[in-house]
A and B are shown apart, each in its own frame.
Chain A
């Protein structure tokens, strides 16, 4: 059993690394694109605030992933062993899908992947008769999926409003545009911290949710999510940012020079607020998709020279693919593990 826990920890760390290298980097890329922060500053800020967000505000979403979708306690009272196997299957399936998506540059969300793969385990447990299908928390799942639609829309609306206000108060009154943008350069330092904190609070769960559930069942930890698990997840993401994410930040920063500080501020502030709100509501959402929504909001408010809405369809198709694929992979891995152990 120890071997399985170590495997879950390693897979969780890999997932955390991947999240730090990609999603965190996506969120921070806008700060570099505008020249608000240097790449070094971005890594330091991202590391500190991502870590703080994960450790101090990551508990709620982690609980959702661990036991909000599949009734882990119910399964563990019947077959404690299979929970550990199931959580290993879930984290492996999510890692596999996210890696594949990264390889093909698909806009897949780690949150969607982990929710899908945990659901896959729940479904196979129900299929095996350990629990009944109605025991799966469908209501919670529907709320989560609904939040995937709501969060980018909310990001768009909020960013639209914030940019419209900035436009009215500053841009349209400015006699000296560069001075206005310079002011927002400083504000972007704050939103950079804000978005890293928000991201850490929501996305740490994608890496450590299954681990938390497994340890809980094994009796290693209590029912509360222990701090050290969040610390570990936070560290994993920070390492991902420092070892690979900086390249992603550079790539994104060089691509989106169109986002000036006023635009970048609006998008980041809206994204961070929406993500933090969802962390508070224990809902795992995609920070990157919310950021896309926010950028579209700024664009529709007239802040950008050109916005490509074609991305929306790519995101939606990746959503539709992610949950079934992650669930199926998770179920297959689970069956395989059950044969072995």
Chain B
């Protein structure tokens, strides 16, 4: 319906920060689903794994759509309180979180988990939990954004928000340590797992670790975006 108004208040453009928060949420939800998928994988519940993989697929697709919308919402005429390039590069890292969750789920469906030593299963569950922790911490960081905007970037809020960044980075480092330990264990059992198995598990470690990597680098870009305003 036409409004029949002579309004020029289109000058207030839609905020990209609201969908940005939603986008982060989708990514973390995908990682949470992945943690459930991992449990299903380790316990050999193929049906549940497939179900979770489909759900992650949907979340990743939704995140992609939000990402497109954010990109489309900042043409050159729109001014933001932050650098647009910084925002886009931060968005790209954030988007990779859901991508890695999806890649991990796909990777698990490639080859069933059979005859894996319990030690390795536990290692994967532990790695997954650590990655999820990093992603959740990252989500908390993004959740602080609205406060920054509400106070129009007060020094106090910036300080509080940026305190979370090193925490994400620390959790990411924890994941790195777990990754190395798990890879070591995988090689210790290489004869039991077999060459193809080792290859598959290495890929899985890499992808789950990628979630924490991307959470940390998105947090890092977020910090640059806030500080380089």
Contacts and interface: CB of A to CB of B under 8 A. Distances in A.
Interface of A: 22-23, 25-26, 29-30, 98, 101-103, 105-108, 163, 167, 171-174, 177, 181, 248, 251-252, 255-256, 258-260, 288-289, 291-292, 295-296, 299-311, 314-315
Contact of A292 (B8, B77, B79): B8
13 contacts: A22-B5, A25-B5, A29-B7, A102-B5, A103-B2, A105-B3, A258-B12, A288-B8, A296-B11, A306-B16, A307-B13, A309-B77, A309-B78
A182 B147 CA distance: 16
A26 B81 contact: no
A224 to B, nearest CB: 32
Query: Which range holds the interface residue count of chain B?
Result: 20 to 34
A172 B155 contact: yes
Given A105-B5, A106-B6, A107-B6, A305 B15 contact: yes
B81 A305 contact: yes
Given A303-B152, A305-B81, A307-B78, A255 B12 contact: yes
B5 A304 contact: no
Given A295-B12, A308-B77, A309-B79, A171 B151 contact: yes
Contacts of A299: 11-12, 79
B195 interface: no
Contacts of A167: 151-152, 154
B155 to A, nearest CB: 6
Given A307-B12, A308-B11, A309-B79, A171 B3 contact: no
A258 B14 CA distance: 8
Contacts of A172: 151-152, 154-156
B79 A105 contact: no
A302 B153 contact: yes
B6 A101 contact: yes
Interface in B1-57: 2-18
Contacts of A108: 6
B5 A308 contact: no
A221 B153 CA distance: 58
Contacts of B16: 305-306
B5 A177 contact: no
A5 to B, nearest CB: 28
B8 A307 contact: no
Given A171-B152, A302-B152, A26 B7 contact: yes
6 A-B pairs with the lowest CB-CB distances in the bound complex, closest first: A305-B15, A310-B77, A306-B13, A308-B13, A172-B154, A107-B8
A171 to B, nearest CB: 5
Which of A22, A288, A289, A305 counts the most chain B CB atoms within 10 A? A305
Contacts, number: 136
A311 B11 contact: yes
Given A29-B7, A30-B9, A171-B152, 9 more contacts: A25-B5, A103-B4, A105-B5, A108-B6, A256-B9, A259-B12, A306-B14, A309-B11, A311-B8
A260 B150 contact: yes
B12 A304 contact: yes
Contacts of B199: none
B109 interface: no
A289 B9 contact: no
Interface in B130-170: 147, 149-156
Contacts of B8: 26, 107, 288-289, 291-292, 311, 314-315
Contacts of A301: 152
Nearest to B81: A302
A251 B7 CA distance: 10
Contact of A102 (B4, B77, B149): B4
Contacts of A259: 12
Nearest to A311: B11
B86 to A, nearest CB: 15
A103 B155 CA distance: 47
A174 B157 CA distance: 10
Contacts of A315: 8
A174 B148 CA distance: 12
Interface in B166-214: none
B152 A311 contact: no
Contacts of B152: 163, 167, 171-172, 301-303
A178 to B, nearest CB: 9
Nearest to B157: A172
B69 to A, nearest CB: 13
A4 B219 CA distance: 71
